[in-house]
Structures are given as structure tokens and as C-alpha cells.
Amino acid sequence: MSILIIAEKPSVAERIAISFGNASKLRDGKVSYFEINLKENKSNKESKENKENVEKIYVCSAVGHLYRVAQKTKDYSYPTFDVEWRATYETDKNADYTKDYIKTIENLASIVKKEKNNIFINSCDYDIEGEIIGFNAIKFACNVDPFKQDVKRMKFSTLTKQSILNAYKNLESTNKGMAYAGMTRHILDWFWGINLSKALSSSLYKILRKFQAMSIGRVQGPTLKILTDRERDIKNFVPKKYWEIYIQCKKNEHDMEKFLAQHKEGKIFDKEKALKIKEKCKVGKAAAIVKEVKKKRNKISPPPAFDLTELQTEAYAKLKIDPRRTLELAQDLYTSGIISYPRTASNQLTDPIGYYLDIIMNLSNNYIKECKILFEKNKKQKIFPNNGKKEDPAHPAIHPTGEDKDLEKFSEEHKKLYDLIVRRFLATFGDNAIREIVTANINNNDEIFIAKGATTIELGWIKIYKYAKFEEEELPELKKDDKIFVEKINMDEKETQPPKRYNVSSIIAELERKNLGTKATRANIVDTLFKRNYVKTKDKAIEVTPFGIAVVDTLEKHCSDIIDENLTRKFEKDMENIQNLKTTHDKVIDEAKKTLIEISNKFKKEEFAIGKALLNGMKAEEYNKRNEEILFKCLKCGGNMAIRKGPYGNFAGCSNYPNCKWTVKLPQGNLKIDKECNDCGAKKILVFINKKKMTFCPNPECAGKKK
């Protein structure tokens, strides 16, 4: 019998091969593969007992997607649905290297087929993408249809020897639901991407009379809409003034320890009311009295182990690692057998507890104190993980395998992420942390103030997970009827703040909450928005560019279905139903075609207006880019003043808008940044008026103007 195992990547193929032992590494041109003769493998008991059971195993790999959806014939019109699966190197000039891998798989398949008894095994990552990568490699390169022949599936969540051999002994059949869902996702993404991009490009062609590449995607559009809605909320936000009143207290006049108590109403939007409260309050000895003290102890449960989104969010918050980079690092650790499969939606550790105890034992070499805590706990009561509520039928939560001997070869970034994963895994078996919350109601001349304190009484799992930080705010020991010394009364004037912009981490979490995209694609979707110049980074947050806003404004007005998150979410649900065999691939594809035909017909009727609006957005973006250079510092708040173009013409605006609305009027016409002003250091502006050049300093406080 001959067997061909196809892995997703060369490094995984090697780990699978060496797990069997006695593997010979061979080459087919530029590509390596492995040959294993189980008959000669004396460590394999099954082969000893039945020498006719298995003779040879060949292990080779893909390099990601070897086949992709492509258009059959050149057709610049839309909508178009004439697609086929083609070798990636035929559609992408940068993927020429995939040709060698396809050739190796073809050659090995022909060898395996010569044997009467042969088995083809897909051992790619056990998820939708891995299923379709292996499915297509076997269908097209091996010329074996997994839907018609009994192609087998290896299912594992870690690349340890034990997991790999266990998966080989317990082969499953092709997961047809997962394969159909993968096919559907790729076809839908192609339908949406190519047709909507053609539509946008066509609308610009109507205006420019030349081709201008544009793109929008099935999930990309709704994501841009979410970011734009937040941008509008910030722009339209009108701040409101409010006042907060605090009394600064001591338990006794001569105490060094001070504490604050805030008036029970918190934010007071009526200044007169706030002034009356302040004037009513007293200062000095026994100016206030404690009316009530409440103490409450809160149990803080250990956090669950990571799913991918939570790992990306936590790595961004604690390690400042970009979500897309986090996935790359985690994938490296996984393919080296150091952690479990990272593209999981589960935050539950579902294997038998003995498996995790073995891992903790292995980790104790490097995490001595942390593991000792768990061993001591296990003596008193059997330890169990504190699982979350998210489930993934394919994989458990991300966890270390305990096999970290190869960690030294990795970068510091890899090691930091590994430490985060290990500590989170260990912490989930830890004790509850206990926090004591103290609330004291203090009466100052019949005005009630509230003082709050919070302290950690028992660290519990926090001893293990050093990345968790709780703010400690101690109050002095207070009892009912204690007289309090009031040192002073503060009345702080503040303003309500606009909502915060999303960052790359929080938008991924929002996409997960809204069920848009997949755990593995969300970071790439956000990255694509940056590449398309729809968004940019501002103070580590995501700001939508004028061009991005123009795209959303235009589509909302003329063809809102393109950016409708409900439509995208519906197709996501359809693909879940395909995977669970509750609906069919053909039904979902037919429905998608009908939807795109309706969208296209609507779009074509408005092409000229859409193109004009997009062009205006492009011009605004170019103008902003040209004039983003700082002119001078804002005289009101210290922000950066730069040239802006509004509905009433040119002006210099502050970078801290909308919190700062200070502006300086500028002449109309085509403005350009010139050299620095000798008197104040601001950037001068060059303006053309009646074909004459003039330069001037925009700083109203420039010393040169006073001269």
C-alpha cells in the first residue's frame, strides 16, 4: 500500500515525517519531500504485527493555496460569474514558485497510484482554508476527487509527535461541509471583489476617460462603513461643559494620608447648581462626617485561554504588536510545535485534564514559581481550566505544547508572544483573585460625597499572569460617624469627549462582535483598507481619509447594499450553514449572483454621478496630502495648524479638532507651502493671485506683522 500525505507548508510536512521516524528526505527538482518505509520502522508495533499493512508513506507539501478562483475569459463588463479554479502561478506572476510544488505532488501521486491499494491524506490545517488547500491539491494535482473517492483527513491541533501519530491512527473522511464552505467563501469573495471593483473603476472611467483601479470587497466595504460612521460621530460631536466637585479630605487634621470624595451627582451640567454646592460645603476640622461605609469583596475569576481575536487584542495592548504580525508570530510558533493551532475561535481547553497537567509539568523547567502554585493547588483539589463561552468544534483554545526546546532560534518578538500565551494558559488554572471595594458616603453640610477605594486582598491567578494590572486605591480605615477634616473643595470644569477612533485591535474585535469576516482574515481586511488609502494612522488610531469618506458617502447614496453589514453577515451565516450541511453550495452561490445582478443594475444607472463623487474625493485627498505639512503651532491649544479646505474656502485648522476649533482665514486659490518665516519660524504660504505670486506668514501673532 502507498500513501501520500499533503501538508499545508514545508515545515509542517517535515514535522509530520519525522514523527514517524526513519524518514528519508528526498528532492524533486527544487522541492523536498519525505519517504517513510514503515515496514523497516522497528518502533512501529502495528507494522511488526502485520507486515502487509503499510509499505510506503510519502509526505509532501503545498505552499498555501496552489489553486485559486479565476475568471475563465477576459471580460471587462460586470457582473461576471464565469469562474474556474486555476493554478495560482497562472493568475499571479509573483507565485511562479508554486509550479514546482504542484509538479512534485503530481509526480508523487503518479507513484502512489501505481499501487493497487493507495490512500491520499489531507493533513493541512484543520479549518476551512486548510480544507480547501488540501482538497484542491488532491483534486487537481493528484486528479483524485475527494467528493467521489475516499480521501482521508488528518485532524490535529498541535504539531507534537503524539498528536500527529494519533491523527494518523484515527483518520477521518473528507469534511464535505468544510470543503463546500471553503469553495463558497472563495467564490463569493471573488464575485464581490471583482464585480464591485469593476463597477467603481467603470464609474471613474466615465469621468476621467482613462482607467483608474479601484477596489472594494464583501467584508472590506462594511468595515470601511463602520470606521466612517465613527469618523462622522467624532466630526459631528458637540462637546458639553460639565463640572465635578471634589472634597480633599484627611481622617485627622495632622494626617499625611489624603483622599478624595466626589459629589454624588458626578457630572453636573448646570454651572450655577455646581457653584451653589461648592459654596454650601465647609472646610476645616470636622467639616464632614462619615454617614455609611460599605465593604464588598469581589472574586475575579481567572481569564480563559486565548482565542485568536483575544490574543491579537491582548498582544496589541500589552506588547504593542500589530494584530497581523501577532498571527504571523503565532503561526511560526505553531509550525515549530511550540503552541497549538492559533486560528481558533475557542477560548476553551477541551482535552482531558491529564494532557494539560503533562504540559504544566514540562513548562515547570522555565516557569518554576508559576507551575509550583498550580502543583500546590492540585494537591488540595484537582485543577481545571476556567473555560470561556466561545466554542470551535475544530480546535481548542491556544495553549503551549510544553515542547519549547526550539524557542531559542526565534526572535525576541516571538518569545514575548510565547510568554504571553504560556502565562495566560497557566493563569486559567489558578485561584480567583479577590478585590475589596470600599465605598464611604460622607456628609458635608447635607451634601453627600462618595469616596471609593479598591485593593487586591488575594492575588490568585495574578501571580501567574503578570500582564494583568489592577489599580490600587486605598482609603484610610473609616467608620460610621467619623468626623473628617476637609482640606479644600475643588470644582473642576471639563468637557464631554467625542468617541474614540478604532485602532487596529479594537476594529478587529468589533468585526468579530458583528460576525463580519473570519478570525483568520480580519487583520488582512484592515490592512487592505490602509493599502487602498481609505484609512491612515493618526496617533495610533485609524482615521478615515477624505477619499475613504467619499467612497462611503457615494455608495450610501447610490448603492448602499455594497457596504451593508447585514448583507455580509447573512452570507457569513449561509457559509456556516453550508459547513453544517444545513444548506447547499449551489443555493448560496445562486442567491449571491441574483444579489450582485441587482446591485450592478442599480450601479450602472448611477455610474456618472458615482464617478463624479469619487473623483471629488480623490481630489480632496490629494489636496490634504499636499497641505498636511504643519504651518505653526495652534495659539489656543498647541496643536498643529495645517491648510484645510472647507465649504467656504481655504483656512488653517487645528489637528485637535473637534476639541479645538480655532481657525485662521487664508486666501482663496491654489496654496503651496513655502520656506520658513524669519520672524516666527512658521511655514510661509505661496499663493497665486491674478497670476502674481505672493508669500505671507499665516501666523496672526507673527512679530513681523507687528513691525
Residues 6+ apart with CB under 8 A from 226: 502, 507, 510, 511, 514, 565
User: Do 46 and 142 reside in the same domain of the chain?
Assistant: yes
Q: pLDDT tens-digit profile of 27-76?
A: 999 999 999 987 644 444 544 444 455 579 999 999 999 999 999 888 77
**Whether residues 349 and 460 fall in one domain:** no
Among candidates 297, 313, 296, which has minimal Cα distance to 432? 297
In a domain, 579, yes or no: yes
* pLDDT given for residue 647 in this prediction: 64
Asked if 13 and 136 sit in the same domain, the reply is yes
For 332, what's the count of Cα atoms within 13 Å in the CB-facing half-sphere?
Answer: 16
Cα-atom radius of gyration of the chain, to the nearest Å? 32
Look up the CATH number of the domain holding residue 443: 2.70.20.10
Catalytic residue check, 341: yes
Examine the domain organization and report whether 94 and 219 are in the same domain.
no
Which pLDDT score, from 0 to 100, does residue 426 have?
Answer: 98
CATH number of the domain residue 393 falls in: 1.10.290.10
Does some domain include residue 623?
Answer: no
213: in domain: yes
User: For residue 387, is it within any domain?
Assistant: yes
Domain membership flag for residue 601: yes
Residues 91 and 224 in one domain: no
| Domain extent for 264 | 241-301+434-495
Residue 328 lies in a domain: yes
Q: What pLDDT, on the 0 to 100 scale, is given for residue 51?
A: 46
Give me the pLDDT at residue 654, please.
85
Domain boundary among 128, 149, 174: 174
> What pLDDT is stored for residue 40 in this prediction?
44
Q: Which of 404, 427, 450 is a domain's end point?
A: 427
* 392 neighbors 384 (Cβ within 8 angstroms): no
Last residue of a domain, one of 401, 427, 453: 427
Mean pLDDT of the chain, nearest integer: 90
Cβ–Cβ under 8 Å, residues 583 and 574: yes
pLDDT score, position 367: 96
Q: Quick one: 318 and 393 in the same domain?
A: yes
- Which pLDDT does position 42 carry in this prediction? 45
Q: Which residues pair with 696 in a beta bridge?
A: 685
Number of domains in the chain: 5
Task: Compute how many other C-beta atoms are within 10 angstroms of the C-beta atom of residue 592.
Answer: 20
Looking at the domain assignment, is residue 521 inside a domain? yes
Q: Are residues 457 and 521 in the same domain?
A: no
From the candidates 58, 101, 341, 465, give the one annotated as an active-site residue: 341
Q: Is residue 652 part of a domain?
A: yes
Question: How far apart, in whole angstroms, are the C-alpha atoms of residue 543 and residue 252?
Answer: 51
Enter the pTM of the model: 0.82
pLDDT for residue 547: 87
- Both 147 and 251 in one domain: the answer is no
Describe the crossing of helices 10-20 and 161-169 by its angle, rounded to 10 degrees: 80
9 and 123 part of one domain: yes
86 shares its domain with 159: yes
What confidence score (pLDDT) does residue 627 get? 52
Which residues of the chain are under the pLDDT cut of 50? 40-44, 46-51
The rounded distance, in Å, linking the Cα atoms of 83 and 68 is 10
Grid cell of 573 as nine digits: 451565516
Q: Tell me, what CATH number does 14's domain have? A: 3.40.50.140
* Residue 295 and residue 312 in one domain: no
Which grid coordinates are listed for 400?
A: 503551549
Q: What is the CATH number of the domain that holds 540?
A: 1.10.460.10
254 and 210 inside one domain: no
Q: Which amino acid is at 564?
A: D
List CB contacts of 2: < 8 A, sequence separation 6 or more.
Answer: 55, 56, 57, 58, 111, 112, 114, 115, 117, 118, 119
Nine cell digits for residue 130: 486548510
Q: In whole angstroms, give the CA distance from residue 257 to residue 269.
A: 31
